[in-house]
């Protein structure tokens, strides 16, 4: 599979972001983002995600995406547990400019 930029049409609004749910994305640069603890919970402390980290897009929250990064490399492409993930909330400009998607 190849990594390419996310185009604006793929991620414009909550409905479009929802179509990215479950897709693998990769950071282009190191990012410091607020930890996502749930839709009703306040954002957690900032976490730094290294450049080149691969994560999975979760359900959108408003016009932002939740991206879950595994704490350890995954043996397969399947997510079997969420206990070993760091989830962060990513706004649309950051998603478009700092992430690539696997095609």
Each residue's pLDDT tens digit, 39-63: 888 889 999 999 999 999 988 877 7
- Read off the pLDDT of each residue in 15-34 and give the average, rounded to a whole number: 91
- Quote the percentage of the chain above a pLDDT of 90: 50
Give me the pLDDT at residue 32, please: 96
When divided into structural domains, the chain yields a total of 1
Give me the pLDDT at residue 39, please: 82
Instruction: Kindly report the backbone phi and psi dihedral angles of residue 10, in degrees, each rounded to the nearest multiple of 5, phi listed first.
Output: -70, -25
CA dihedral 4, 32, 49, 57 (to 10 degrees): -50
Q: For residue 10, give both structure tokens.
A: 């793929």
Domain extent, residue 34, equals 3-102
List, in order, residues 6 or more apart from 38 with CB less than 8 Å away: none
Instruction: Kindly report the backbone phi and psi dihedral angles of residue 74, in degrees, each rounded to the nearest multiple of 5, phi listed first.
Output: -85, 140
- Read off the pLDDT of each residue in 60-81 and give the average, rounded to a whole number: 74
Give me the pLDDT at residue 16, please: 82
pTM for this one?
0.85
Looking at the DSSP bridge assignments, the partners of residue 87 are 68
């Amino acid at each position: 599979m190849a990594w390419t930029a996310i185009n604006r049409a793929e991620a414009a609004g909550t409905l479009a972001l929802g179509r990215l749910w479950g897709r693998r994305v990769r950071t282009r640069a190191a990012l410091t983002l607020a930890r996502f603890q749930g839709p009703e919970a306040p954002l957690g402390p900032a976490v730094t995600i290294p450049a080149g980290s691969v994560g999975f897009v979760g359900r959108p929250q408003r016009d932002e995406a939740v991206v879950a990064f595994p704490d350890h490399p995954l043996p397969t492409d399947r997510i079997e547990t969420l206990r070993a993930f760091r989830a962060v909330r990513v706004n649309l400009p950051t998603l478009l400019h700092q992430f690539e998607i696997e095609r």
